[in-house]
Amino acid sequence: NSKSLRRGLASLKQPTSLFAPLDTFQERHIGPDDAEASKMLSQLGYESMDAFVADTVPSKIRLSTNVVDNSSIPAYSESQLYDRAKELGGQNKSFKSYIGMGYHNAVVPPVILRNVMENPAWYTPYTPYQPEIAQGRLESLVNFQTMVMSLTSMDIANASMLDEATAAAEGMVMAFVTSPKKRTFIVDQGVTPQTIAVLRTRAKGFGINVTIGGAVALLEDKSILADVCGVLVQYPDVDGNIKDFGKLAETAHSTGALVVCATDLLALTKIKPPGEWGADIVVGNSARFGVPAGYGGPHAAFFAVTDKLKRKMPGRLIGRSRDTQGKPAYRLSLQTREQHIRREKATSNICTSQALLANMAAMYAVYHGPAGLERIATKVHKFTEVFKSAVAGFGYKLKNETFFDTVTLEVSVAGSADAVHAKAEAAGINLRRIDDKHVGISLDESVSPTDLVTLINVFASAVSKQTVALNELHEPEVNSIPAELQRSSEYLPHPVFNKHHSETEMLRYINHLAGKDLSLIHSMIPLGSCTMKLNSTSSMIPLTWPEFSSVHPFAPYDQVKGYHRIIKELEDDLCKITGFHAASLQPNSGAAGEYAGLCVIRAYHESRGEGHRDICLIPLSAHGTNPASAVMAGLKVVPVKVHPDGNLDLGDLQAKAEKHKDNLAAFMITYPSTFGVFEAGVQDACKIIHDNGGQVYLDGANLNAQIGLTNPATCGGDVCHMNLHKTFAIPHGGGGPGVGPICVAEHLAPFLPSHPAMPVRGEQSIEAVSAAPFGSASINLISWAYVKMLGGKGLVDSSKIALLNANYMASRLQGHYNLRYKNENGRVAHELLIDLAEFDKAAGLKVTDFAKRLQDYGFHPPTCSWPIQTCMLIEPTESETLEELDRFCDAMISIRQEAEDIMSGKQPKDNNLLKNAPHPISVIASSEAEWNRPYSREQAAYPLPWLRERKFWPTVSRIDDAYGDLNLVCDCPSVEELAH
Amino acid sequence: NSKSLRRGLASLKQPTSLFAPLDTFQERHIGPDDAEASKMLSQLGYESMDAFVADTVPSKIRLSTNVVDNSSIPAYSESQLYDRAKELGGQNKSFKSYIGMGYHNAVVPPVILRNVMENPAWYTPYTPYQPEIAQGRLESLVNFQTMVMSLTSMDIANASMLDEATAAAEGMVMAFVTSPKKRTFIVDQGVTPQTIAVLRTRAKGFGINVTIGGAVALLEDKSILADVCGVLVQYPDVDGNIKDFGKLAETAHSTGALVVCATDLLALTKIKPPGEWGADIVVGNSARFGVPAGYGGPHAAFFAVTDKLKRKMPGRLIGRSRDTQGKPAYRLSLQTREQHIRREKATSNICTSQALLANMAAMYAVYHGPAGLERIATKVHKFTEVFKSAVAGFGYKLKNETFFDTVTLEVSVAGSADAVHAKAEAAGINLRRIDDKHVGISLDESVSPTDLVTLINVFASAVSKQTVALNELHEPEVNSIPAELQRSSEYLPHPVFNKHHSETEMLRYINHLAGKDLSLIHSMIPLGSCTMKLNSTSSMIPLTWPEFSSVHPFAPYDQVKGYHRIIKELEDDLCKITGFHAASLQPNSGAAGEYAGLCVIRAYHESRGEGHRDICLIPLSAHGTNPASAVMAGLKVVPVKVHPDGNLDLGDLQAKAEKHKDNLAAFMITYPSTFGVFEAGVQDACKIIHDNGGQVYLDGANLNAQIGLTNPATCGGDVCHMNLHKTFAIPHGGGGPGVGPICVAEHLAPFLPSHPAMPVRGEQSIEAVSAAPFGSASINLISWAYVKMLGGKGLVDSSKIALLNANYMASRLQGHYNLRYKNENGRVAHELLIDLAEFDKAAGLKVTDFAKRLQDYGFHPPTCSWPIQTCMLIEPTESETLEELDRFCDAMISIRQEAEDIMSGKQPKDNNLLKNAPHPISVIASSEAEWNRPYSREQAAYPLPWLRERKFWPTVSRIDDAYGDLNLVCDCPSVEELAH
Ligand SMILES: Cc1ncc(COP(=O)(O)O)c(C=O)c1O
Ligand SMILES: Cc1ncc(COP(=O)(O)O)c(C=O)c1O
Ligand SMILES: O=C([O-])O
């Protein structure tokens, strides 16, 4: 009876009353309804959810009390959340920011705002590891790379970094590994303070000495130069100066040192690009290309290098390759660096990056094109010239003679900087606070003529001069960009940047690309360890409200009360969930969280006079970012064995912990393990570590299995990171953004990261790990909304259903596939690992063949060949309905039968449905002559009946990885190429 | 050189200065850039735009001065518009409305808001006349129909009407034509005042006598009953009563009179549906199913009838049919009624309806399902019970004993109604103003417990009683729905309403349907007479801001200052553009505008004692709505001949005008004509009419060709309508909403429509033509933004480029196709008519065959077989780039060659690329055995190279129209059917 089809969980039904809200989020978030959940439970042989959970989660670590429930975390309905977000947004004051320091107000073209940033087709896909169903965002990321390459005049650029400061740190490390014997890294004093802070943190782990000062002068000192591996300059610098670093580059290169240049894409339309004066590595922040400030992020940083450094680049690189039909196609190049990060050999741990924001920035360049960017840059520059002459007229002294958009003023004529700031504040304006004699002003695209007049008049009134009117301002005739540093080279000549300039064409281009990509709007993305769950609209809506999106990360605290309330509430709730004491939202990804957590552990040891502790035990099954992060934190990785069933080898752990007990710093463990195993011995393992003087880092990627059932503190951990872009429903954005906060036990709290723009947390804090004090602050709104709308009960129910869904799938696939692990009760955790080795042995069928064939069934393949080469790791999450789980299982079982036909010899081993997969329409449409396959087009396209109504089509055939890696081409085709 | 690729028109370039904004809309709106425009001009043989325009628009009617330019209509940049909209939005006060009267606050599920209402894939498609590329919205409209049928318990429902009042008027006319000898139509006094006003207007034209009173009692009077053709009741009525109309229906039926019932979908989940007590026609407003109030609209009204009336239904009806492969498929049934409205035989003129809003309402039902609707209705009802008992406790007297969500109170205990309203106002609340003794209160889904307490306390404080707190309120035990009128029957048992209840599933369903439909996000939709142009994001954004979306249409004027400013500015600008004196935004579609304009003309004649004038001359080439509107306004249509080249036969006009000069009321003419012809003789034609005592109605559907070049006043008209959903960029929404304002010359201004909720415009006003005083008020924002952002110059440039684009296409297609018309200079207007008769003659190839084949090329076909059976009418608009025009022309030329092969006998006449078109993927994928076609799959799918990269796929084969009309099935498949 349809009327009884109420949603939610019968066994867990919320108490309802007439006055309870109807728009409860839990009902919309959790896929299965009562009836479906009961059906799954009974299929697994359970009468209740409790009995199922008891068999699944080891009793030793089960939380006995209701630690997480609606009294500890009350649930808001969707409309209550909306109202609360409005209220808190209202507590952020919308001052006009001229603070600069690498952060500008952005003007987001409406067509990009609506159709990229607010469009689930763009924000819900996964990282494009499956290129046949990701050509859209791959093309857009190549646009990003091309844009960066062209504006910087560098040979190659990657597909984004987390922020400018960490990108600069990666540059520093690249310089260091290029000249590993030289330990000095020079940082010019014109670099922004947040970058300097992040460099200092990062330098520590690598044992690099960061020397800050006038870079040009420092390099002239031969005794210093001898030990220099690299130098970082900011161009234009934080005060606005545009300096000629050509000579500096020559000097550096004379001893093999590398020049890292932090720069600004908009300025590069006007000034000589770093690639033309000898920079080796160019980094920066692309946010002013149409990405809102969001109180610090997210936005995409960029990273570009010369050709000879290309194979050492961190991060993701998109390249052009070809498919089996010879059709050009994009893919992640040198992909092994990615998913299987080079573990302890790595020098970077970046995994999740900033794909969505890189796409927005690239689209901004597509929309404006070179002519549009030129117009914008001209306006920004000329407004700055107008401002400069006006304030010079009032008696202010300019600190910088040269500039693009930023001037630093000596303000003694006004008494003090405070006097100027007071006038600014009264006008609703924020200026850069430098010291009591200087203020900084950065202009940007958003500044209207009226804004400019208001700004000028702040300076007029601070010295009691007559205010000016717009019609008294005139186009300046000077140009404060030195003639020899003006850009003369062309940029962005590629067709893609020169044709989509009407909104209609832009909309079609955005949609055309989106149409090539499989995302959560199509079907489940059961990526083990990635937790691709519902990213609800109600949590996305506040994100693009101006009261949250247009806040500068260094805005004064009293203007950002709404944000701070949200940050505080989220930190508190994360502590309740993890069982820990304090949190930091600064890290911009899971990997960044790992790194931050390990730095905190090191600082803790140091504080106790045990700074020598530098051994980090890591199971062999750990995610590649774990050892990479350890190395970056200056730790030595000692691997720990794992049993074939996924459990840690406790004997090996004990032996190694004891062996290294004098130097044991930490142990990193993922829980449930990367095999999808709730290890009953986790507390014993942690005790071994503690007994030997170490701290336990718990990788929280799998936290979705735990909430309210157990927690990292109970397991025995001291610190954990969470991936808010997994467990806490920030969408993956096609490869980022992410947020990787850490929670720590009380004894570690004093060491949580600080930031130059943040009131100090305590004297023992480590320095910044991200450019912004609260990382990608704006998207914390999503996780905050998620937690608040589910409430404690909804969070726990979500974990329970995540477990149930995974176990249901295990029960359906079992018998067809070799389930690699289950516990003594026959249960898996929130994901399941199936081993396909038998198919390879019997018929040479690889994991990839199954994965590509799944694309033909309209699904994104699960995580492949990780953590075990021959396996697939399947994670459904709580958001998928029984019907969807069944569709996926049916597909897997059908493929199993197709494989059977190959193994039995009915179908040839080299020309079959799996090896030839995926089958795009162009292949299905091929002529009779070309269709030389021992199966029909219909078998290829519609192996199951529901595919006729509901099918997602890959747009290219299988892509040739080897070809792509050998022929690394990472930019857009040019006019000439297209002509061929 | 890429840097010179600036946008806009060289010849028409805006003066730029440093302080001019960069985000000018014109650059984004107009497709061709300078270079493209020049290329097209020179291809046509012109050196300047002026020379081209001079050859295109007859000099007689050319405006010599700059009537429309940036001084008469200044241009805002996109960000300026945003700021101005925010400012004006701030002038609307957001009071909580309990006014009711058919308008409720709606809670829009966020996933529907973002993914339907704010999604161009849903809001930019055209009316689904091409079902093979419209299965998504057709399915959704069938969901709407099914939802209405199930909730009302009627046999059949259509796919939406403009509003409840006009739907009721259509019901009245249906009753009248069923019993044409009986002229009395009874309207129960419980009907809303706006419906009564609209009925009275409509009754006039048909000569129906509307009698208002107690319907039950009136029908008991045999002398009255004898002349009654029908009766309208409101159920529940405007005061809240739920009356049993079973007996009334029996009485009405005893003499063959029909019962029209205006009802409420949410109430119907609780009360006995009209279909169960004998209603023949059921109408209402579906807005409370998740469609924002928007100060009156848009929203979808519904119209449901018993089986025997189904072939007389007005509006669009979606039916299930099958395609040539036998696959089930949806289509517009009885379609001829639509595009080729039954002209003077029609009793309804509805054309554009409310598809987008019907889809939103249907999606709301899909999202909530029967159980969710039941919960919502229960809450609304019980809150009303709680309210009632509370205020009864304060001494207020209830006027209605029975109710679902509305109570009417007698308030003498508080002194006067004003005293209550004063308290309400202080609490930010609007109540229904009835008279000085009564107030009305309607509750809805949006009312929170806190709102309820606040509301109750308004009534407490008005009588100085102790206020109550939430915890003092209790779930009521009474039920004010009479037992015999409680619903017992099941509703919405269909699978579609019972499975998409998680947000993930809902998102996938919305996207799955959207993916089947071609819209402006894919390619041009060159529909002659429909002006499918860019619907910009910046004009769409303010629409869903709460300050505009959540305003009740009868909110007091002083709370809606922002809206009124926008309405005033838009009216003024439309007057400047048309050359007229005053405007009314009340009509909800072009056809509604025609009707309103003709009523105004009739009122004018009456005011001069010439009420007998009832002849309306209409050219044979006129759109079907013209004669239909004339008939509805009580006019007799006399057709006027048209020359084969599209020009009016002035001789025939003269003759007929003279013949009818004593009774000549009006002449209706479309300009440029429906053939895409700027008739040089238009002023002569108008003079003939004026000389003979008539007024000229100018159908402004083609206004896009005119702006600033000529105007309806200059052409000689007295009144015109505009289709804001054509010329003024309101998106078509897949078949609506629309706005059809009229502008009139000064002598007609006193007669513009009034409305019961509007301060009277003048004593001579006609009564309301729409339910809301300003029609679909919220979407006027879009046209307002469009006009303001283009500014005068941009508007004129748009018209010029619209003309240029059409002429360029004409020049490319000429030689391949028979261009039916061009002027003496070889020019067409903004659209071109090509005649395909030769292909039919030679090889039996019909217009439809070309149209369906165009789908294979990824294009929406142009307007087909209108205004001439054998023709296609192609209108590119200014928003398409040269590249897109060329793609379309290439496709047409390629099809021409395919037709050649058929005519020459190379391909058979019955089995060829055109006759078999379109080719969905399922056909392309068919097995070798089934592919019995004399062409390859690749020829079918990829006839031109760019289709390999950019192709839109029809999802079904050609649909069998005849089958569908014979087997009229207009609801969703049931569980049983799906099981087969
Ligand atoms: C177990 C595990 N740890 C760490 C990470 C790294 O997280 P991020 O990609 O956010 O840097 C991942 C990412 O997939 C993971 O699965
Ligand atoms: C010439 C003409 N007149 C009137 C109309 C009716 O307008 P609407 O569909 O807005 O009712 C149309 C609609 O296409 C039309 O083309
Ligand atoms: O009927 C038309 O929509 O043109």
Taking CB atoms and an 8 Å limit, are A927 and B936 in contact across chains? yes
Residue A10 has pLDDT above 60, yes or no: no
**Token pair recorded at residue B696:** 């000229």
Give B492-506 pLDDT, tens digit per residue: 999 999 999 999 999
Taking CB atoms and an 8 Å limit, are A926 and B942 in contact across chains? no
A435, amino acid identity: D
- pLDDT at residue number A761: 65
- pLDDT at residue number A928: 82
| Cβ atoms A637, A666 nearer than 8 A | no
Nearest atom in ligand 3 to the alpha carbon of residue B339 is 1
Helix-helix angle A49-56:A34-43, to 10 degrees: 50
Q: What's the A701 CA to ligand 1 centre distance in angstroms?
A: 6
Q: What's the A339 CA to ligand 1 centre distance in angstroms?
A: 9
Nearest atom in ligand 3 to the alpha carbon of residue B527 is 4
Query: Which-ligand-closest: CA of A589?
Result: 1
Question: What are the backbone dihedrals phi and psi of residue B788, each rounded to the nearest 5 degrees, phi first?
Answer: -65, -35
Of A508, A520, A937, the CB nearest to B927: A937
Chain B residues with beta carbon closer than 8 angstroms to that of A942? 922, 925
Report ipTM (2 d.p.): 0.97
Q: Which of B962, B863, B844 is nearest to B912 (CA)?
A: B844
Taking CB atoms and an 8 Å limit, are B948 and A374 in contact across chains? no
| Cβ atoms A857, A943 nearer than 8 A | yes
Confidence of residue A6 (pLDDT cuts 50, 70, 90): very low
pTM of the model: 0.97
Q: Which of A336-350, A535-549, A648-662, B458-472 has the lowest mean pLDDT?
A: A336-350
User: What length is written for chain B?
Assistant: 980
Please give the average per-residue pLDDT across A422-427, as a whole number: 98
Place of tokens 């205010």: A467
Give A129-171 pLDDT, tens digit per residue: 999 999 999 999 999 999 999 999 999 999 999 999 999 999 9
Question: At A219, is the secondary structure helix, strand, or coil?
Answer: helix
Residue A897, Cβ neighbours under 10 Å: how many?
10
Q: What's the A918 CA to ligand 1 centre distance in angstroms?
A: 27
| Cβ atoms A244, A190 nearer than 8 A | no
Rounded Cα distance, A855 and B754, in Å: 60
Residue A584's H or E segment, with its range, is strand A582-584
Residue A209 has pLDDT above 70, yes or no: yes
| Cβ atoms B592, B166 nearer than 8 A | yes
- pLDDT at residue number A1: 29
- The per-residue DSSP string of A778-844 comes to GGHHHHHHHHHHHHHHHHHHHHHHHHHHHHHHHHHHBTTBEE----TTS---SSEEEE-HHHHHHH-
Residue A417 has pLDDT above 90, yes or no: yes
Nearest atom in ligand 1 to the alpha carbon of residue A352 is 9
CA torsion angle A335 A339 A344 A346 (round to 10):
40
Does the beta carbon of B699 sit less than 6 angstroms from any atom of ligand 2?
Answer: yes
* Average pLDDT per consecutive 10 residues, chain B (980 residues; last block may be shorter): 32 61 96 95 96 96 88 96 98 96 97 98 97 98 98 97 98 97 98 98 97 98 97 98 98 98 98 98 98 97 97 92 94 65 80 97 98 96 97 97 98 96 98 97 97 98 96 91 97 97 98 98 97 98 96 96 98 98 98 98 98 97 94 96 91 98 98 93 97 98 97 98 98 97 98 87 90 97 98 97 98 96 95 97 98 98 94 98 98 98 97 98 91 94 96 96 85 83
Who wins on pLDDT, A67 or B13? A67
From B350, B527, B623, the mutation candidate for ligand 3 (largest count of ligand atoms within 8 A of CB) is: B623
Taking CB atoms and an 8 Å limit, are A31 and B505 in contact across chains? yes
Give A278-288 pLDDT, tens digit per residue: 999 999 999 99
Taking CB atoms and an 8 Å limit, are A18 and B386 in contact across chains? yes
Does the beta carbon of B670 sit less than 6 angstroms from any atom of ligand 2?
Answer: yes
Query: Which-ligand-closest: CA of A127?
Result: 1
Chain B residues with beta carbon closer than 8 angstroms to that of A119? 119
Chain A residues with beta carbon closer than 8 angstroms to that of B936? 927-928
From B316, B351, B531, B532, the mutation candidate for ligand 3 (largest count of ligand atoms within 8 A of CB) is: B351
B450, amino acid identity: T
- State the alpha helices, DSSP H only, in A118-245: 120-123, 135-152, 164-178, 193-206, 215-220, 222-225
Cis, peptide link before residue B753, omega less than 30° from 0: no
Beta bridge partners of B881: none
Residue A834 has pLDDT above 90, yes or no: yes
Taking CB atoms and an 8 Å limit, are B881 and A470 in contact across chains? no
Residues 6 or more apart whose CB falls under 8 angstroms from that of A168 comprise A191, A195, A198, A199, A232, A260, A262, A283
Query: Which-ligand-closest: CA of B619?
Result: 2
Q: Which of A13-17, A36-40, A966-970, B556-560 has the lowest mean pLDDT?
A: A13-17
* Radius of gyration in angstroms for the set of CA atoms belonging to chain B, rounded to a whole number: 28
- pLDDT at residue number A645: 83
- Least CA distance to A377: which residue of chain B? B22
> In whole angstroms, how far apart are CA A803 and each of A568, A716, A808?
30, 22, 9
- pLDDT at residue number A963: 86
| Cβ atoms A466, A460 nearer than 8 A | yes
Give A540-557 pLDDT, tens digit per residue: 999 999 999 999 999 999
Q: What angle do CA B716, B718, B723 make, to 5 degrees?
A: 100
What number of CA atoms fall less than 13 Å from residue B455's CA on the CB side?
30
- Number of cross-chain residue pairs from A and B with Cβ atoms under 8 Å apart: 238
Give A600-647 pLDDT, tens digit per residue: 999 999 999 999 999 999 999 999 999 999 999 999 999 999 998 889
Residue A466 has pLDDT above 60, yes or no: yes
CA A255 to chain centre: 36
Q: Which of B80, B40, B14, B58 is nearest to B796 (CA)?
A: B14
- pLDDT at residue number B979: 76
- State the alpha helices, DSSP H only, in B267-327: 274-277
Question: At A201, is the secondary structure helix, strand, or coil?
Answer: helix
For ligand 3, atom 4, the nearest C-alpha belongs to: B339
Rounded Cα distance, B413 and B398, in Å: 12
Please give the average per-residue pLDDT across A776-797, as a whole number: 97
- pLDDT at residue number A2: 30
Nearest atom in ligand 2 to the alpha carbon of residue B592 is 11
Residues with CB under 6 A from ligand 1: A 351-352, 529-530, 589-591, 623, 625, 670, 674, 699, 701, 723, 738, 740
Interface test with A, best of B502, B506, B932, B947 (most A CBs within 10 A): B502
Query: Which-ligand-closest: CA of A699?
Result: 1
- pLDDT at residue number A341: 56
Rounded Cα distance, B980 and B964, in Å: 20
Interface test with B, best of A4, A17, A504, A883 (most B CBs within 10 A): A504
- pLDDT at residue number A453: 98
Starting at the earlier edge strand, list the strands of the sheet with A406-410: A96-98, A429-433, A438-442, A406-410, A397-398
Nearest atom in ligand 2 to the alpha carbon of residue B740 is 10
- Least CA distance to B112: which residue of chain A? A537
Please give the average per-residue pLDDT across A461-477, as a whole number: 94
Residue B351, Cβ neighbours under 10 Å: how many?
26
Chain B residues with beta carbon closer than 8 angstroms to that of A497? 2
Nearest atom in ligand 3 to the alpha carbon of residue B129 is 3
- pLDDT at residue number A541: 97
Q: Which of A544, A510, A502 is nearest to B536 (CA)?
A: A502
Query: Which-ligand-closest: CA of A341?
Result: 1
- pLDDT at residue number B980: 65
- State the alpha helices, DSSP H only, in A871-948: 882-903, 921-924, 937-941
- pLDDT at residue number B9: 37
- Least CA distance to B519: which residue of chain A? A508
Helix then strand then coil, % of chain A, to nearest 5: 45, 15, 45
Interface test with B, best of A4, A269, A363, A503 (most B CBs within 10 A): A503
Give A678-726 pLDDT, tens digit per residue: 999 999 999 999 999 999 999 999 999 999 999 999 999 999 999 999 9
> In whole angstroms, how far apart are CA B277 and each of A632, B152, B154, B172?
77, 10, 11, 19
Rounded Cα distance, B940 and B919, in Å: 7
Nearest atom in ligand 3 to the alpha carbon of residue B530 is 4
Chain B residues with beta carbon closer than 8 angstroms to that of A115? 120, 537
Taking CB atoms and an 8 Å limit, are B371 and A5 in contact across chains? yes
Does the beta carbon of B777 sit less than 6 angstroms from any atom of ligand 3?
Answer: no
Give A230-244 pLDDT, tens digit per residue: 999 999 999 999 999
- The per-residue DSSP string of B681-718 comes to THHHHHHHHHHTT-EEEEEGGGGGGTBTTB-HHHHT-S
> In whole angstroms, how far apart are CA A44 and each of A54, A811, A829, A887, B559?
13, 7, 14, 18, 60
Taking CB atoms and an 8 Å limit, are B2 and A371 in contact across chains? yes
Chain B residues with beta carbon closer than 8 angstroms to that of A534? 502-504
Chain B residues with beta carbon closer than 8 angstroms to that of A856? none
- pLDDT at residue number A977: 84
- State the alpha helices, DSSP H only, in A31-181: 34-43, 49-56, 78-89, 110-112, 120-123, 135-152, 164-178
- pLDDT at residue number A961: 83
